[in-house]
């Protein structure tokens, strides 16, 4: 386990519902090439804080890396809904762009 991951795990133990820490752990596992563990943390984050808009792009990209394009599309679409609800044009645009890389569908904000 990396030192950074150990620190993040300690932070999570103190604050188990902290969205940023869950996200950071997922990214750390992803960086270590541990897709299954990263996915577990992304899904835990989605369950605990479905409005954490930054989650959806990275979740979709992980699904793409693990050859799950339908799951990636669903992650992008879900994230676009969250971004639209929050009025986050930047996140919506990034998610739409990622979605368009997998399909020709283009949505309007």
Q: pTM (2 decimals)? A: 0.91
In order of 67, 94, 105, 106, the CA distances from 52 in angstroms are 24, 15, 24, 23
pLDDT value of position 106: 63
- Residue 109 pLDDT exceeds 60: no
- Residues 41-87: pLDDT tens digits? 999 999 999 999 999 999 999 999 999 999 999 999 999 999 999 99
Domain range summary for the chain, segments of one domain joined by +: 1-49, 51-109
Q: Which long-range contacts (CB under 8 A, 24 or more apart) does 4-13 make?
A: 4/28, 5/29, 5/32
What pLDDT sits at residue 12?
97
Report the CATH superfamily, name and number, of domain 51-109.
Tetratricopeptide repeat domain (1.25.40.10)
Q: How far apart are CA 1 and CA 11, in angstroms?
A: 15
pLDDT on residue 4? 95
Give the model's confidence band at 105: pLDDT under 50 very low, under 70 low, under 90 confident, else very high: low
């Amino acid at each position: 386990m990396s030192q950074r991951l150990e620190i993040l795990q300690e932070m999570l133990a103190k604050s188990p519902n902290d969205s940023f820490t869950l996200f950071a752990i997922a990214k750390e596992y992803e960086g270590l090439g541990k897709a299954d563990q990263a996915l577990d943390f992304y899904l835990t984050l989605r369950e605990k804080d479905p409005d954490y808009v930054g989650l959806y792009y990275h979740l979709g990209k992980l699904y793409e890396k693990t050859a799950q394009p339908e799951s990636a599309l669903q992650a992008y679409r879900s994230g676009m809904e969250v971004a639209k609800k929050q009025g986050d044009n930047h996140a919506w645009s990034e998610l739409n762009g990622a979605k368009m890389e997998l399909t020709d569908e283009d949505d309007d904000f």
